[in-house]
Amino acid sequence: MSVAKSYPTSRSLPMGLFWAAALVLVAVIPWITGSTFHFHIAIMVCISAMATGGLAVTAWVGQLSLAHAAFAGLGAYTSVLLVTRFDLPVLLGLPAGALVAGAVAFVIGAPLLRLRGVYFVLITFALNELFRLIMLDVPALSGGSSGIAGIPKLSIFGMTLSSYEEVYPFALLCLALVMGLLVLIRKGQLGRRFGAVEENLALAEASGIPTARTQNLAFTLGSAIAGFSGAFLAHYVGFISPETFGFQLSVSYVIMLVTGGRLALWGPLVGALFLTPLPEFLRGAVEYQHIIYGVILIAVLRFLPQGLAGLPAQLSRKGDRS
């Protein structure tokens, strides 16, 4: 009998090396060009990729959350309030944001996740709007519609990261940590459980997998990652308002995820990498961002059902057939 293959089947090593090298090459572009603008885009890619990574964790158990931006907002407001009112170091504000977002997800997850498919999408969409409206309604905390400006910059151990060049390595480190967590989830026994729940919920339950708890765990982890990314975004940009975390942001994350590959481990990274820079490069056409995203989404759904991350496999399969 053949040697047992591990799940999920790992690609051959040379291909893995090729993609790792490609990723490193893309990551060093800002240092090569030295352009501040490129540093900014690269940092935004890291933040989007983290957030989309969180969305992926929930997607891996078969649920699509449209409240992802609200959890990012929850993390952002948590960190900003703790840092500005209680003098918490920003470095602790980020995990605190993750913790609060995760805790809220855990509590509301149990009843919410009983809804499946389009019903879950709709209820999370409504929740995102609810979050925005509540935040507008408590100006004492949120600054209301004028938001909170002058948010303390990212800093590590008392050292403020004041320039783009200083923020970028820290953003890369955080992204590496998030992707590391995603790898652990996917490659370990938890990924096996997630896969079972995503593929066939009734059979997973009948096989002894506690599907409700498993889905809630994924939703909690994913939303905590969103909280972390939101806190990062707040301290990087320096300004947040309830509108920052409106449902448009949730939709953007969904589009990035689907474009990259909803169920692929590297899907979130690939999706964020392709879609975050687009509107930035089309400076004059920022208002067309949603149209462009929409067109890309339709194209991906039509031609790349596994997303961009599934493209190499799709091409090689075509090659086999011919």
Partner 1 sequence: MSTLLEIGGLTKRFGGLTALSDVSFNVAEDAITGLIGPNGAGKTTCFNLITGTFSATSGTIRFRGQDISGLPPHRIVQHGLARTFQAATTFPKASVRENILRGALLRHPLGLGSMLFGGGAARRAEQGARDTVDKVMEALELTEHADRAAGTLAYGHQKRLGVAIGLATRPGLLLLDEPAAGLNPDEVDRFGSMLKEIREGFGVSVLIVEHHMRLIMRVCDHLVVLDHGEKIAEGAPDRVRDDPKVIEAYLGADHAK
- If binding is defined by CB under 8 A, does position 1 make contact with partner 1? yes
Residue 317, classified by CB atoms within 10 Å of its CB into exposed (0-12), middle (13-18) or buried (19+), is exposed
Applying CB under 8 A, which of residues 90, 196, 224, 273 lies at the interface with partner 1? 196
C-alpha distances out from residue 174 to 79, 233, 236, Å: 16, 12, 13
**Residues 165-184, mask of contacts with partner 1 (x by CB under 8 A):** -------------------x
- Report whether 228 contacts 175 (CB < 8 A): no
- If binding is defined by CB under 8 A, does position 318 make contact with partner 1? no
Q: By CB under 8 A, which span of 25-33, 115-123, 187-195, 223-231 interacts with partner 1? A: 187-195
- If binding is defined by CB under 8 A, does position 203 make contact with partner 1? yes
- If binding is defined by CB under 8 A, does position 193 make contact with partner 1? yes
Query: How far is C-alpha 146 from the chain's CA centre?
Result: 26
C-alpha distances out from residue 47 to 138, 209, 313, Å: 27, 33, 27
- If binding is defined by CB under 8 A, does position 195 make contact with partner 1? yes
- If binding is defined by CB under 8 A, does position 211 make contact with partner 1? yes
Q: By CB under 8 A, which span of 21-29, 85-93, 131-139, 200-208 interacts with partner 1? A: 200-208
Instruction: Give the contacts of 177 (CB within 8 A, at least 6 positions apart).
Output: none
Applying CB under 8 A, which of residues 123, 148, 175, 185 lies at the interface with partner 1? 185
Applying CB under 8 A, which of residues 10, 160, 207, 316 lies at the interface with partner 1? 207
**Residues 279-308, mask of contacts with partner 1 (x by CB under 8 A):** ------------------------------
- If binding is defined by CB under 8 A, does position 112 make contact with partner 1? no
- If binding is defined by CB under 8 A, does position 188 make contact with partner 1? yes
Residue 148 DSSP code: B
- Report whether 40 contacts 165 (CB < 8 A): no
Pick from 270, 226, 169, 276: nearest CA to 50: 226
C-alpha distances out from residue 147 to 73, 77, 196, 239, 287, Å: 12, 10, 43, 7, 22
* Beta carbon of residue 7, minimum distance to partner 1 (angstroms, whole number): 5
Applying CB under 8 A, which of residues 35, 84, 200, 289 lies at the interface with partner 1? 200
* Beta carbon of residue 175, minimum distance to partner 1 (angstroms, whole number): 19
Amino acid letter at 211?
T
Query: How far is C-alpha 95 from the chain's CA centre?
Result: 15
Cβ closest to partner 1, residue 205 vs residue 280? 205
C-alpha distances out from residue 21 to 16, 51, 117, Å: 9, 23, 37
- If binding is defined by CB under 8 A, does position 205 make contact with partner 1? yes
* Beta carbon of residue 6, minimum distance to partner 1 (angstroms, whole number): 9
* Residues binding partner 1 (CB under 8 A): 1-2, 4-5, 7, 184-185, 188-190, 192-193, 195-196, 199-200, 202-212, 217
